[in-house]
Amino acid sequence: MGIISLVTGRPGQSGFGSASTAEQVTEGIDATNLTAIVTGGASGIGLETSRVLALRGAHVVVAARNMEAANEAKQLILKDNKKARVDVLKLDLSSVKSVRAFAESFSALNLPLNLLINNAGVMFCPYQISEDGIEMQFATNHLGHFLLTNLLLNKMKDTARTTGVEGRIVNLSSIAHLHTYQHGIQFDKINDKSSYSDKRAYGQSKLANILHANELSRRLQEEGTNITVNSVHPGLIMTPLMRHSQLLMRTLKLFSYFLWKNVPQGAATTCYVALHPNLKGVSGKYFLDCNEMKPSAYARDEKLAKRLWDFSNKLVDSASRTQ
């Protein structure tokens, strides 16, 4: 899958490519017996992912920080699909307290959990520190999803064990993981304001998404758990995620319009990895345009992934002690 395939939409080995939409890659798939959580499911490709999963019959839980937007998203899904099963729950991924509260609220619904789509994120935002004292892009894009996944993992394991149906976790990363800080992750300077770059901090968080998926995949395979974990790059899409850099992105799009996708195309790779039967048992991989791709050397570094895992646990423990 190279630049020609990206521009022309020519299908890759999977039979799909950059021009494929989320509906097309899930056509004929019955997800009636599945329950999915989609973080950031109230707008952009998260909303389209939620809509298409619901269209295929899945019970979708939209996790969102803005509950008004989440309820509007629910109504949009129901307007086109009156049989859709959609719930909404509040989730602010930049807050350890909110992530824990979401996990408790989901548990109270007494639902199974087959699919976890770690979709939400912030992008290119000015330097900010979360309420837990962590740089905002790292806190929201990586650490919140790291904690959320850990809190929901036992439910996913129970569901996979009792139903015999493979569970799937999908981390939304980005090709931006190639543009990160020196050495990949700034473990010793994660909150350093003087060296902060909004672009590199975003790339760092997206690299962390891949490393998290790879290390979790390794651990689950070691346990023999029937759950796969993969990461995806959705493509270049103009969504609310780009609210901090709209002028830059619109200017860039003028000169690279042939590389950009619409939202249904942007949600395709997520939906493909979440639902397609061809990916049964496939784990620890990175996908672009619905086809497996090789990520950066940092993203394939097992030692870096293990170090990030331990570092993330320490950050979560530290944030939890201050509450």
DSSP 35-58: EEEEETTTSHHHHHHHHHHHHTT-
Check if 196 is active-site.
Answer: yes
Dihedral, CA atoms, 135, 139, 142, 146, nearest 10 degrees?
140
Work out the burial of residue 177: count CB atoms within 10 Å of its CB; fewer than 13 is exposed, 13-18 middle, 19 or more buried: buried
Instruction: Compute the radius of gyration of the chain from its Cα atoms.
Output: 18
Backbone φ, ψ for residue 122 (5° rounding): -120, 160
Smallest CA-to-CA distance from 25 within 264, 287, 259, 282 is with 264
Residue type, 233: H
Q: Which of 181, 196, 286, 298 is catalytic?
A: 196
Q: How far apart are CA 35 and CA 165, in angstroms?
A: 11
Q: Give the rounded distance of the alpha carbon of 179 from its chain centre.
A: 18
Q: For 184-251, where are the E strands, in sequence order?
A: 227-233, 236-237
Query: What 3-state class would DSSP assign to 106?
Result: helix
- Helix, strand or coil, per DSSP, at residue 21: coil
Element (H, E) at 102: helix 96-108
Report the SS3 class of residue 110.
coil
What amino acid positions are annotated as catalytic residues? Answer: 196
